[in-house]
Structure formats: structure tokens, C-alpha cells
Chain A
Amino acid sequence: MAADERSSVTEEFEALVVPVLDSAYRTALRLAGNQAAAEDLVQDAALLALRGFGSFRKGTNFKAWFFRILMNRFYSDYRRARRAGTPVDLEDTPELYLRSRAEAAGIIGPDDPADAVIDRIDTELAVAALDALPDEFRTAATLYFTQDFSYQEIADVLGVPIGTVRSRLHRARRLLQRTLWQVAEERGVVTGPEVGS
């Protein structure tokens, strides 16, 4: 490829990648766990994507294509360095877990909105609960929470069937509710009686 052509390709690539860098950083930070690693991950992904730009089909979803490269890079080089979160009980969790625990703890009455629970959840608590999820659930949930991706786009990014994404996200959300409550109890944010789960 001639130098002029390479410059032109780089410009075309930049026009596509720059608008998604901020959102890529948000996902990278939640995946990698710290700012320096997240910045490196985004930059590494951008350089890899530039190198592989010839395989991108114009008119298709650039963001999903780029995020797939970012996820692959995370799996290959960053996942091992990530800090471990609170161990999570993998026993399946019923729907409405948080609501039933909050009701049992007297935080909300049966007719109250979610505000009383939400007010007790800060960013640190939410991220701690996300971090505690096992990898396969955490990666899907991170893409789900940090991006406005559909199930199909998450499936494309992770390279798994859409049914797998759906079941992982449904279970991740239930596990997240259990972990939120567990972490909140550990931190003294909530206290309450045990209820059947």
C-alpha cells in the first residue's frame, strides 16, 4: 500500500473510531478496573483495529466490530491482571430478589417505589457488585450497562449466539441483585432478616 493510501485509510479509520472512544473507555474501565489499564486497553484496541481495518466491511456496525476487538484484547492480555471481586454465590437467584429482600428488611412497603433501595446504591456499591460476577456474566453485563447495545450487538461483540447473551444477561441481572444485597449488607448499608431465596 502506498504512503498516501495508508494516510487516507488512517483518516477514514479515525473518523469512525474517534466517536466511539469515550464509550469504549467506559466499558474498558469497568472491565479492566483501573484508569491506566483502561486507557492502554482502548489504545491497544484502536491500534489493532487500524491494522485489521481491511477486514471491516463498510456499511456494517463499526462500533460492534471495534468492541469485538477490544473484548478480544481484554481477554488476551488484561483479564488476568484484573482485581478479584467479592465471591458471588452462583446458586440461581429468583426474580425480584432485591425487592423481596428490601421488603423483608422494612426498607420499602409493598406500595413504595424503588427510590428507597436506589438511594442506598452508590457507584462504588454498583461497581463492586458488577465486579463480583463470574467473567462470562460480567463481560455481558458490562457491555449491557455501559453501552446501548441490543442482545444481537452483544452477541456480535462476544462472538456467541443471541440466545446465550439473553440467558447470560437474565441470570447476570439476578446475580447482580443478590450481590448488591450481599455487598450492601457487608458494608452496613442495609440490614435485615434472612428471607427465602
Chain B
Amino acid sequence: MSHLTPLNCKEAFARLADYVDRELTEQELTEVREHVAVCAVCAREFKFEEHVLEALRERICRIQVPSDLVARVTAALRARKGDAGR
């Protein structure tokens, strides 16, 4: 357990967005984990948000990159190498 006062639901909830974005400090993260370990309501809410976000990311990133993209760009770069670093 943290040596600090445990978070209440409102305080834990205020960290939800930063939690799912992995932007909490280690201390903040520990405090949130300690809260959701003992609060089933918050645990469900955090899990729901995490899962929806993961699903959205997976679907938004479901993209077939053209197989010739690298060849096309490198050919363009080599054709314009006279511009390099100007």
C-alpha cells in the first residue's frame, strides 16, 4: 500500500483519462491501482474505458500500407538529392 492517503472514487476517476493514456507518474499510478483493487465499481469503469480505447485504436490503425510506398518515396528522394540539407 501507498504511504499516502488512499484515493476516493472521485479522485481516482479524475485520473481516468491520464491513466488510459499512460501519462500518470509511478506514484499516481500506484494510487489508482490500489483504489481499483478495492473498488469494484471503479475497476469496471476503468476496464471499460481501457477496452473501448484499445478497440478504437486497433480499428483506426487497421490500414494496409501500399507495398510500393517505400520504393516510391526513396525514388523521389534520390531524384531530388540535390536538395539535400539545403
Question: Which A residues contact B (CB, under 8 angstroms)?
Answer: 1, 6-7, 9-10, 13-14, 17-18, 21-22, 25-26, 29-30, 35, 39, 42-43, 46-47, 50-51, 53-54, 95-96, 98-99, 110-111, 113-115, 117-118, 121-123, 125-127, 130, 142, 144-146, 150-151, 166, 169-170, 173, 176-177, 180
Contacts and interface: CB of A to CB of B under 8 A. Distances in A.
Contact of B53 (A25, A111, A173): A173
Interface in B35-86: 44-45, 47-49, 51-53, 55-57, 59-63, 65-66, 69-70, 72-74, 76-78, 80-86
A102 B45 CA distance: 13
Nearest to B45: A96
A63 to B, nearest CB: 15
B83 A51 contact: yes
A30 B76 contact: no
27 contacts: A1-B85, A6-B82, A9-B84, A17-B73, A18-B73, A25-B63, A26-B63, A30-B63, A43-B76, A47-B83, A50-B77, A50-B81, A50-B85, A51-B83, A51-B84, A51-B86, A95-B49, A110-B44, A111-B44, A113-B48, A117-B52, A118-B51, A121-B55, A121-B59, A130-B60, A170-B17, A177-B52
B55 A43 contact: no
Nearest to A151: B23
B86 A35 contact: no
A53 B84 contact: yes
Interface of B: 13, 16-18, 21, 23, 44-45, 47-49, 51-53, 55-57, 59-63, 65-66, 69-70, 72-74, 76-78, 80-86
A95 B13 contact: yes
Contacts of A146: 60-61
B49 A96 contact: yes
B48 A42 contact: no
Given A14-B74, A47-B77, A114-B51, 18 more contacts: A6-B85, A9-B84, A10-B81, A13-B77, A14-B77, A21-B73, A43-B76, A46-B77, A47-B83, A51-B83, A54-B86, A95-B49, A96-B45, A115-B51, A117-B52, A123-B60, A126-B60, A145-B60
A39 B72 contact: yes
Given A99-B48, A111-B44, A145-B60, A47 B76 contact: yes
Given A1-B84, A13-B77, A145 B56 contact: yes
